[in-house]
Chains A and B, each alone.
Chain A
Amino acid sequence: MIDDPDWLDVLAGELRLRGLPEDQVTRVLGETRAHLWDAGEDPARAFGTPSAYAAAVHESLGTPPIPARRKVVRAEAPRLQATGIGKRHGRHRLLHDVDLTVHAGEVAAIVGANGCGKSTFLRICAGVERAHAGRVVVRGSIGYCPQGGGTSDFLTPDEHFVLVGAGRGLGRDRSRGAGRALAEHLWWPRPAPIAAARLSGGTRQKLEVILTALGDPDVLLLDEPYQGFDRDSYMYFWDRVREWANEGRAIVVVTHLLDRLERADTVVDLTPSPHAAPGVRGRHHPKGTQPR
């Protein structure tokens, strides 16, 4: 077939996945289609797989830079301000005196060892778990992505978009449109009309992220949101995080992967200090955030 729409669609997706701007994607597709038409060749025979061809095009055009950080206006009150957060489980002190301040346009990463309270801290920031000490002030709406479990097994992606969109005051069409657009940005071009239980782990996790960002909440709280993502999706996710921040949102990401911390404006390590008093798991390193 000379003009195989599926092959070209996949190529377009592969190019977007590699971060090519939309105008370049359009140009490459136009040139590819014209070449196929002139040569009368099968695209797979002429160019190989869409993935391989996209990789070659990407390499020839150079790697796009990480989306630039916009200047954060710190004169404005922070979008999220957590002060002196403490949490106990019985006699065990999980969190002690943790502070975090995130302004509009900033990305904060919460890191630390397993069981140090990263997810608990995020749940406290979202207001779904009680803190034993401290307070959290949030200016604007919250989007919270839990570590799994924030979706319904028996609803399709579109139905999830409508469900969460209605909560945010969006109509059906706008919810579906917004959800699908976000899906495309996470390299999930056409969410299939199948129940969430039948989605792969990584795709279901993308659904979690999309539902968090749907309706443009002012503060995004993401708890290890990339679990199950393939490598490209993982990189693409961090690009989206930076873009969301540039749109003026405050973002907190719980992560145990340290290879993308350069994309965060603030890093808070909740790993207990080795100098903690006996019987206490530890004071947390930061008293206040760590601006970078």
Chain B
Amino acid sequence: MRRLSTIAEMTGREILRRRAVLFLLLLFPLPFYLLQRAEHPGQAIRFLFVGLSWAISGSAMFVAHSGRAIDPRLRLSGYRAHHLWMGRMSALWLIGTVVTLPYLALVVVDQPRVRHGALAVAMVLCVAVAAPFGLLLGAVVSREFEGTLLLLVTVGIQMVADPATTTARLMPFWSGREIGTYAIDHTDTGFLVRGVAHGLACALLFSLALAVVSALRLRRRRHLRTLPAN
């Protein structure tokens, strides 16, 4: 447990020390909301979810990339692969949740007729999905530029695809749009249930994939056999 909490703490310190990144992380989702707010207040909330997911998954991807160099040393120092990915994901979940709070407050104040409980659920799911998705992207794609492009494509498809289509449902951040519809348009609970199920399934799926990729990447190679010291 100490190892996991140490990784989480150090990940948090790294992110907090990158002031420019932190500033952008905090402000990045704001234009998504403000640019649509006047004419399409409901769409502004859906775009806000996408902006939050983009910001958090982008940060997670950079955390994964910056950890790549030090990971072999940490693995040899006694950490297991799950300490590394779970510790980083915990830190990102915590920071991501903190980032969403002012936006939740903004929407609550700005749009009183929306179902605010559902908004909070959608934002929590945005964080829950975006952190493992970004870490997975960083673990699979070794170069930051390629990873950034992939993230851009994912978010772009998510924004332009009709939410009712299969393509949109296969995207990682679909849950926000579905729950958003429930919260904004006061539709039936089916939207909420589908959105929550999609979000939880994505969070679980990405976490499992991350566990597998991390274990493979940081596995001890078969030619090495370690025995206790004499």
Bits for B1-27, please: 1 = Cβ < 8 Å to A, else 0: 011001100100110011000000000
Q: Is A144 a contact partner of B73 (Cβ separation < 8 A)?
A: yes
Task: Check if A150 sits within 8 Å of B3, measured CB to CB.
Answer: no
A174 to B77, CA, bound (A): 15
Q: How far is the CA of A142 from the CA of B226 in the complex (A)?
A: 9
B73 contacts which chain A residues (CB < 8 A)? 144, 146, 150, 164, 211-212
Could you tell me if A152 and B10 are in contact, using CB atoms closer than 8 angstroms?
yes
A97-138 interface mask toward B, CB cutoff 8 Å, 1 = contact, 0 = none?
Answer: 000000010000000000000000000111111110011111
A269 on the interface (CB 8 Å rule)? no
**Contact in complex: B230, A136 (CB < 8 Å):** no
The answer, yes or no, to whether B108 is at the interface (CB within 8 Å) is no
Residue A79 at the chain B interface, CB threshold 8 Å: yes
- For A143, what are the chain B residues with a Cβ–Cβ distance below 8 Å? 76-77
> Which of B53-61, B64-72, B175-183 lies at the binding interface?
B64-72
Instruction: Collect the chain B residues with CB atoms within 8 Å of residue A146's CB.
Output: 69, 72-73
Q: Which of B75, B221, B228 has the most CB of A within 10 A?
A: B221
Whether A127 contacts B230 by the Cβ 8 Å rule is no
Are A154 and B228 touching (Cβ within 8 A)? no
Q: How large is the interface on B (under 10, 10 to 19, 20 to 34, 35 or more residues)?
A: 20 to 34
Cβ contacts A58-92/B at 8 Å (1 or 0 each): 00000000000000000011010000010000000
| A167, CB-defined interface residue at 8 Å | yes
**Minimum Cβ distance to chain B for residue A64 (Å):** 31
Q: State the Cβ distance, A288 to closest chain B Cβ, in Å.
A: 18
Contacts of A131 in B (CB 8 A): 221, 223
B97 to chain A, nearest CB (A): 21
Instruction: Point out which of B17, B73, B75, B230 has the most chain A C-beta atoms below 10 A from its C-beta.
Output: B73
Q: Do A134 and B10 touch (CB < 8 A)? A: no
Check B223 against A134 for contact (C-beta < 8 Å): yes
5 chain-A/chain-B pairs, Cβ below 8 angstroms: A127-B226, A130-B221, A152-B67, A155-B17, A162-B10
